[in-house]
A and B are shown apart, each in its own frame.
Chain A
Amino acid sequence: MEKITAEKAKEIRRTDVGPPHYGQFLPPVIKKNYGRWKEHEILSPGVMVHTAESGDKIWSVRVATPRLIATDTVREVCDISDKYCGGYVRWTSRNNIEFLVSDEKNLEPIQKELKEKGYMIGGIGPRISNMVHTQGWVHCHGAATDASGLVKAVMDELADYFTTKELPNKLRLALACCVNMCGAVHCSDIAIVAVHTKVPPIDHAKLGKICEIPTVIASCPTKAISPDPATKSVKLKEERCMYCGNCFTVCPAIDIKDPYRDGIAIVVGGKVNSLRSNPKFSKLVIPYMSNEPPRWPKVVAAVKHIVDVYAKNARKHERVGEWADRIGWEKFFKLTGIEFTFQAIDDFTFMRDTLRTASTFKW
Chain B
Amino acid sequence: MKKYDTPLLDELEKGPFPSFVKEIKKAAAKNEMANDELGQLEYSFKTNRGYWKHGGIVGVLGYGGGVIGRYSDLPDMFPEVKFFHTVRINQPSGWFYTTKALRELMDLCDTYGSGITNMHGSTGDLVFLGARTEDLEPLFAELTSRGWDLGGSGSALRTPSCCVGPARCEWANYDTLEACYQITQEFQDELHRPAFNYKYKIKFAGCAVDCVASIARADCSVIGTWKGPILIDQDAVRWHEKKGMDINREVVDMCPTQCISYDGKELKINNDECNRCMHCITRLHKALKPSGERGATICIGSKAPIVVGSLLSWVIVPFMKMEPPYTEFKELTRKMWDWWDENSHPRERIGEVIEMKGMRSFLEAIGVPPFPQQIKEPRKDPFFFFTEGDIERFKKREEEEKKTGKFIF
Binding site for B on A (CB under 8 A): 1-6, 8-22, 24-26, 30, 34-35, 37-41, 50, 58, 60, 64-75, 77-79, 81-82, 87-93, 95, 97, 100, 118-120, 132, 134-143, 146, 148-149, 152-153, 155-156, 159, 162-163, 176, 179-187, 215, 218-219, 221, 244, 246, 249-250, 252, 257-260, 262, 270, 272-277, 279, 281, 291, 293-295, 316-317, 350
Query: What separation, in Å, do the CA atoms of A119 and B18 have in the docked complex?
Result: 7
Given B108, B188, B213, B310, which contacts A272 in the complex, CB threshold below 8 Å?
A: B213
Q: Known: A13-B137, A66-B17. Is A88-B23 also a contact (CB below 8 A)?
A: no
Stretch from B163-171, B328-336, B384-392, B395-403 forming part of the interface with A: B163-171
Given A24, A138, A142, A276, which contacts B256 in the complex, CB threshold below 8 Å?
A: A276
Which residues on B sit within 8 Å (CB–CB) of A140?
A: 50, 52, 54
Which residues on B sit within 8 Å (CB–CB) of A37?
A: 166, 168-170
Given B17, B116, B148, B217, which contacts A184 in the complex, CB threshold below 8 Å?
A: B217
Q: Nearest Cβ in chain B — how far from A60, in angstroms?
A: 7
Q: Are A137 and B44 in contact (CB under 8 A)?
A: yes
Q: Nearest Cβ in chain B — how far from A177, in angstroms?
A: 8
12 contacts between A and B (CB under 8 A): A12-B142, A40-B169, A72-B26, A78-B102, A120-B16, A134-B122, A182-B304, A186-B304, A218-B347, A259-B47, A259-B49, A317-B279
Stretch from B203-211, B260-268, B316-324, B367-375 forming part of the interface with A: B203-211
Q: Known: A95-B120, A187-B213. Is A64-B26 also a contact (CB below 8 A)?
A: no
Q: Known: A89-B97, A272-B213. Is A3-B119 also a contact (CB below 8 A)?
A: no
Name the residue of chain B whose CB is nearest to the CB of A259.
Answer: B48
Q: Known: A19-B148, A134-B122. Is A25-B91 also a contact (CB below 8 A)?
A: no
Q: How many residues of B contact A (CB 8 A)?
A: 128
Q: Are A22 and B94 in contact (CB under 8 A)?
A: yes
Which residues on B sit within 8 Å (CB–CB) of A141?
A: 50, 52-55, 70
Query: What separation, in Å, do the CA atoms of A277 and B277 have in the docked complex?
Result: 8
B63 CB within 8 Å of chain A = yes
Given B24, B98, B255, which contacts A24 in the complex, CB threshold below 8 Å?
A: B98
Q: Are B45 and A149 in contact (CB under 8 A)?
A: yes
Q: Are B282 and A275 in contact (CB under 8 A)?
A: yes
Q: Are A70 and B24 in contact (CB under 8 A)?
A: yes
Given B11, B118, B279, which contacts A295 in the complex, CB threshold below 8 Å?
A: B11
Query: What separation, in Å, do the CA atoms of A183 and B216 have in the docked complex?
Result: 9
Q: Are B149 and A19 in contact (CB under 8 A)?
A: yes
Q: Are B148 and A8 in contact (CB under 8 A)?
A: no
Query: What separation, in Å, do the CA atoms of A290 and B164 have in the docked complex?
Result: 39
Given B92, B130, B168, B345, which contacts A60 in the complex, CB threshold below 8 Å?
A: B168
Which residues on A sit within 8 Å (CB–CB) of B286?
A: 39, 41
Name the residue of chain A whose CB is nearest to the CB of B135.
Answer: A3
Q: Are B305 and A179 in contact (CB under 8 A)?
A: yes
Which residues on A sit within 8 Å (CB–CB) of B16?
A: 120, 156, 159, 163
Query: What separation, in Å, do the CA atoms of A61 and B71 have in the docked complex?
Result: 38
B408 CB within 8 Å of chain A = no
Query: What separation, in Å, do the CA atoms of A82 and B111 have in the docked complex?
Result: 23
Given B63, B167, B189, B213, which contacts A30 in the complex, CB threshold below 8 Å?
A: B167
Most central of B129, B184, B278, B307 by chain A CB within 10 Å: B307
Which residues on B sit within 8 Å (CB–CB) of A10?
A: 141
Query: What separation, in Å, do the CA atoms of A138 and B36 have in the docked complex?
Result: 11
Q: Nearest Cβ in chain A — how far from B18, in angstroms?
A: 5
Q: Are A159 and B17 in contact (CB under 8 A)?
A: yes
Which residues on B sit within 8 Å (CB–CB) of A275?
A: 208-209, 277-279, 282
Given A4-B138, A68-B23, A88-B98, 6 new contacts (CB under 8 A): A22-B96, A26-B167, A70-B115, A91-B97, A156-B15, A293-B48
Q: Are B23 and A70 in contact (CB under 8 A)?
A: yes
Q: Are A15 and B144 in contact (CB under 8 A)?
A: yes
Which residues on B sit within 8 Å (CB–CB) of A2?
A: 111
Which residues on A sit within 8 Å (CB–CB) of B249?
A: 316
Q: Are A317 and B250 in contact (CB under 8 A)?
A: yes
Query: What separation, in Å, do the CA atoms of A162 and B170 have in the docked complex?
Result: 24
Query: What separation, in Å, do the CA atoms of A275 and B70 have in the docked complex?
Result: 40
| Chain B window 228-261, contacts with chain A (Cβ cutoff 8 Å), 1 for yes, 0 for no | 0000000000000000000001100011100000
Q: Are A19 and B181 in contact (CB under 8 A)?
A: yes
Q: Are B99 and A87 in contact (CB under 8 A)?
A: yes
Q: Known: A141-B70, A146-B45, A244-B306. Is A93-B212 also a contact (CB below 8 A)?
A: yes
Q: Known: A3-B138, A50-B168, A293-B8. Is A91-B215 also a contact (CB below 8 A)?
A: no
Query: What separation, in Å, do the CA atoms of A40 and B236 have in the docked complex?
Result: 13
Query: What separation, in Å, do the CA atoms of A141 and B55 have in the docked complex?
Result: 9
Query: What separation, in Å, do the CA atoms of A139 and B52 have in the docked complex?
Result: 7
Name the residue of chain B whose CB is nearest to the CB of A158.
Answer: B17
Q: Known: A1-B110, A139-B84, A295-B12. Is A70-B92 also a contact (CB below 8 A)?
A: no
Q: Nearest Cβ in chain A — how far from B343, in angstroms?
A: 16
Q: Are B116 and A22 in contact (CB under 8 A)?
A: no
B172 CB within 8 Å of chain A = yes
Q: Are A137 and B53 in contact (CB under 8 A)?
A: no
Which residues on A sit within 8 Å (CB–CB) of B93?
A: 19, 22
Query: What separation, in Å, do the CA atoms of A183 and B238 have in the docked complex?
Result: 40
Which residues on B sit within 8 Å (CB–CB) of A18?
A: 90, 149, 181, 184-185, 188
Which residues on B sit within 8 Å (CB–CB) of A162?
A: 17
Q: Are A71 and B110 in contact (CB under 8 A)?
A: yes
Give the 3 A-B residue pairs with the shortest CB-CB distance, closest first: A156-B15, A9-B141, A35-B166
